[in-house]
A = this chain, B = another copy of it.
Amino acid sequence: MKKQNSLYMQVYDYYCNLIETGKIQNGEKIPSIRRSSLELGVSKTTIEQAYMCLCDDGYLVPKSQSGYYVSNRADTRKNEFLKSPETLQNKVIYDFSSSGVDSESFDLSLWRRYVKSALRQTERLLSYGEPQGEKELREEIASFARENRNCVCDSENIVIGAGVQSLLNILCPLIKIRKSISFADPSYIQGVRVFVDHNFKISENFDSADIIYTSPSRVTRWGDTISVSERFKLSEYARNTNKLIIEDDYGSEFRYVNRPTPSLQGLSGGENTVYLGTFSKLLLPSIRISYMILPPDLNKKYREVAAVYNQTVSKADQIALCSFIRDGHLSSQIRKSRKLYLQKSKYLCDLLEAEFTENVTIGKTDSPLFVKATVKTEKPLPALLKSCEKEGLRIIPVAEKNGGAEIAFSVSAISTEKMEKGIKLLKELSVGSE
């Protein structure tokens, strides 16, 4: 996939260049999507996509009701998701960014047994499944979401689909009466895209939007979450202003060091909130099973049209997951993974302290998946990132600090051996002025 030549990449490169060469200064406002679209002669969607990439890569910062500004930590270019998977896999040796899962964390041979046994249910596999998803699986998911995320649900208001986008494609027509949506994390371009495709207006702030798309369990990429009282406030605000909340609880299962904060959906009593959950992070990224929990009014609407949306998940995978949950493996999988990630986080902190000694301050995160630390470096953060990238070391830049760099490390995909070598390498690269 050559994405280098695509239109939005060209726009991306155009602004990168202006920012990197100092033609647009840090803190300066860049042209609005509308103006830029007119000036460059490309569609607003393309500009929007480019701006989102620029935000995600730390060049730009969106500001409420105002527009896009050049970030103070611009030039900390990561350009992560713009590369094709192949390129990434070839180049990145020490991956402290968040993609993928630890091969130790999931018992693939156990899952294989469940799929094998599902594939033996010949009669069931010979017919098309229920559009909403297999009822047995919906029942298991319902008790899982009730027990673990305090969700208000049963098998009847759960819809199963192959990934969050598949579910949003069903949801969008149901909430057509609403016109605009605001994303707490506008860099989630896969979500933004579905709403753009369905002609929703993307608002830059909550107040002007009819729908709020939020991930309260994952406010930042390095795992800070929203507290219960803030969730209550958000839920009340939405109710009072007649806004619909879409709660994307992606990866919430591992996001909490302590007892997990209940979902917004649960705190809202199941009203006015669409809850999205996924098993890709919990099981394997390559297993595409997600679900959504609908509030009563939308569920009623959904059931009228359910038959016209074919189920997107293979029945065998649904049967396998159902038995897997029923036999308690999902819960033990979560416990096991959390323990593993906590151990790895602890180990990473030890490594950082051993390597950087007094030149490191470990920060606090809500998640066992991430470690946040400020390290002293002789290089500015952008230069450090450049050297890291060259050597196949991938980290998540957070901010430049006086004489140091605040960095987040995900322990999700990297092995302990690679962690050791990666941190050693980071120490070496942090010394010397470029």
A contact residues vs B (CB 8 Å cutoff): 1-3, 6-8, 46, 49, 81-82, 84-85, 89, 99-101, 103, 108, 111-112, 115-116, 119-120, 122-130, 132, 162-166, 169, 172-173, 189-190, 192-193, 196-199, 280, 284-288, 303-317, 413
Which one of B7, B162, B280 lies within 8 Å of A313 (CB-CB)? B162
Shortest CB distance A138–B (Å) = 12
A288 in contact with B306 given A103-B123, A169-B197 (CB within 8 Å): no
Q: Are the C-beta atoms of B119 and A100 separated by less than 8 Å?
A: no
Q: How far is A192 from B313 in the complex, measured between Cα atoms in Å? A: 21
CA distance A303 to B115 in the complex (A): 33
Which residue of the partner chain, among B103, B120, B124, B189, contacts A308 with CB atoms under 8 Å? B189
B contact residues around A122 at 8 Å (CB):
103, 108
Q: How far, in whole Å, are A169 and B168 apart by their CA atoms in the complex?
A: 11
Please, which residue of chain B has its CB at the minimum distance from the CB of A86? Answer: B130
B1, B49, B100: which contacts A126 (Cβ < 8 A)? B100
Instruction: Choose from B172, B285, B312 the contact partner of A166 (Cβ within 8 Å).
Output: B312
- Which residue of the partner chain B has the closest CB to A82? B307
- A108-B119, A108-B122, A120-B112 known; A193 vs B309 contact (CB < 8 Å): yes
Chain B residues contacting A123 (CB-CB under 8 Å) are 103
Residues from chain B with a CB closer than 8 A to the CB of A169 are 165-166, 169, 197
Judging by beta carbons under 8 Å apart, are B163 and A310 in contact?
yes
Q: Which of B81, B84, B308, B312 has a CB less than 8 Å from the CB of A162?
A: B312
